[in-house]
Structure formats: C-alpha cells, structure tokens
Amino acid sequence: MPKNENNAFPETLGTLLKWGESELAAAGIPEAALEAGILLASLLKTERARLYLDFDRQIETSDRDLYKSYIVRRVNHEPVAYITGFIEFYSLPFQVDKRVLIPRPETEYILEEILAKVEGSGKSPQYLLDLCTGSGCIAISCVRFTPQLNVLGTDLSYEALELAQANARLNGLSPSPHSRLHFIQSDLFKGIPREYQSRGFDYIVSNPPYIQHSAIETLMPDVKDYEPVLALDGGPDGMEILDIILTQATQWLKPGGWLILEIGYDQGDAIKNKLEHSGAYTIESIEIKKDFSNLDRIAIAQKKESTSYG
C-alpha cells in the first residue's frame, strides 16, 4: 500500500507525479516513471508531455484520491491499460478491460501483413475472417485502413464481443450484417453461417490462445492474475486452438486465400511443418516471421489455387 496518508498527500502535480513514481519503483515496477506519468495523464485527460510543464499546478483532493487508487492497483500488478481503460493499437484507440486480452505491439505485424496483401491484390471487395477477435483491434483496424475489406469478427465470449462493438463505435464504425464490419458469437468456425463458407474468405486471421496450460501460472502477475484465461490457454501443448484453425481454415478460404496467424515463440517449426504437410498451401508461400525481439510470431500461408489436394 502507498506509504503516504491522505493528510500528507502531495498537493501539486509535480510532487504527486514524483510520489507515484516512488511508489511504483518501490514495488518493483520496471518502468515506474513512465507508468506513473501515463496514469496521471490519463486521470487528468492530458498529454503525458504536458505534465512536465505544469509541475506547480494544484491538484484537487478527488483527483489525488483517484490517482492514489490507480497507484495501488498498479502496485498490485493490474495492467496499466486496464486501469486507464484504453490502449492504442496501430494508432487507433481501443477500450480494454478484463473481458479481453490487451492488444500487444506484436499483433500489429498481422495488420501490416493484411494491409500489404490487400493493397497488392488490387481486388475489391475482399473478405476477411478474424477469429478470436477479442477487443476487435484487428477487425476494426482492417476496416479503418482498407476500404476494400469486408470483415467478420468472431469470438466465443459474448462479453468480449460487447467490447468489440463498443470499440467499433469508438472508431467511427457501425457494425452490422449490412456494413463492412460485423461481429458474431462463434466457437471458431462452428457458429459462422454457411453462406460465408459458400462465398469464402480471402483472408483468415487470428491471434488465438496459444500458451501451454501448464505455463500460465509462470506468467507475470500482470497477465496471469488479470487477463482472461480464455484468451491465453491454448491447451496442454499450446496448440489446441491453432490445430483446429489449421485443420479447418482451408474449408473457408477461397483458392488463393491467405491464412495469417499469431503464434507462440516456440511454435514456428511445428506450425510450418503442419502447413507444409497439409497439402493445402503452396510451399513457397509458407513463412514464419519474427517479431522485433527476433522471436517467431506470425505464420503465413496461401491456399493453392487448385482444390485437388488430398
């Protein structure tokens, strides 16, 4: 718990910020100064850089108390994004809470792959399926940045879909069956209407659960104690959901369509092997791409134009 009592609590922005940094540093939070500033800027609804120009600003008691509660929550390892309620993904704002996984910078690699392939194809319209959509960050970003794309986002969690819908509206979109963005509840492919399969998708993308069940307890408290297990747990070997997607995606992809998946750092070889041995994808298209930490992160494969594979 923070060591200052209310009657000795800092009254100016500068002293309040230094207090927050000190409390987080004492709790072992790695980027204490950065996070103290993010939390205070969010509370005061200002830019973080602006804080350093207003050090002598007097802070109201209600704001001091709220900031104190923010710091307590972060000391207890609640993620900053859940405390502020927002995170940025590919320059767009997204609401996040315990209903959904917090979007990571690594997931932006998926979006970059999609944007490049959509632009390179020159076709319009094109259709994309976003499995395990969560906050909707991939689906919404695709619609915002690619006028050619029509996107269906699915998730097993109704609560996650509620937040995805809210995020669509936050980003100026009105998801519905008659718009370029639509969300439905579905356990992977099970609940998707068959007419979507008849038409087919040009892209199937997903950031599915891919962490081994036994490894979840070894994760940082910020993750294992707060983020939804449903979005993390990939079964005994971490491949349970990925295997279903790898097995069934070809039934929903158009000939020449692309499968783009986020994967675990140690799953690249296994997934590449499965894609190669499926017979459904062109060998030259199968690729495991690394993230900025040089870890396996994205699996890509293009379905063969011919459907005569075994």
Residue, of 282 and 11, whose pLDDT is higher: 282
Indicate whether 275 and 129 sit together in one domain: yes
User: What is the tens place of the pLDDT at every residue in 270-280?
Assistant: 999 999 999 99
Q: How many domains does the chain have?
A: 2
Picking from 5-9, 94-98, 144-148, which range would have the lowest pLDDT averaged per residue?
A: 5-9
Question: Is residue 1 a part of any domain in this protein?
Answer: no
Same domain membership, residue 180 and residue 124: yes
Q: Within a domain: residue 309?
A: no
Looking at the fold, whether 111 and 24 belong to one and the same domain comes out as: no
- b/e burial code for range 127-138 (CB count within 10 A of at least 16 → b): bbbbbbbbbbbb
Instruction: List pLDDT tens digits, range 79-128.
Output: 999 999 999 999 999 999 999 999 999 999 999 999 999 988 888 899 99
Same domain, residue pair 115 and 52: no
Answer yes or no: do 52 and 118 share one domain: no
pLDDT tens by residue, 131-143: 999 999 999 999 9
Domain edge (last residue) among 44, 76, 108: 76
The enclosing domain of 123 has a CATH number of: 3.40.50.150
Q: Is the pLDDT of residue 167 over 70?
A: yes
85 lies in some domain: no
In a domain, 180, yes or no: yes
Backbone angles phi, psi at 303, to 5 degrees: -65, 140
In angstroms and rounded to an integer, the radius of gyration of the C-alpha atoms of the chain is: 22
Average pLDDT over residues 161-169: 97
Beta bridge partners of 184: 154
The pLDDT assigned to 47 comes to: 86
Range of the domain at 61: 6-76
Does 310 fall in a domain?
no
Residue 26, φ and ψ in degrees, nearest 5: -65, -30
91: β partners: none
The confidence band for 54, taking pLDDT boundaries of 50, 70 and 90, is confident
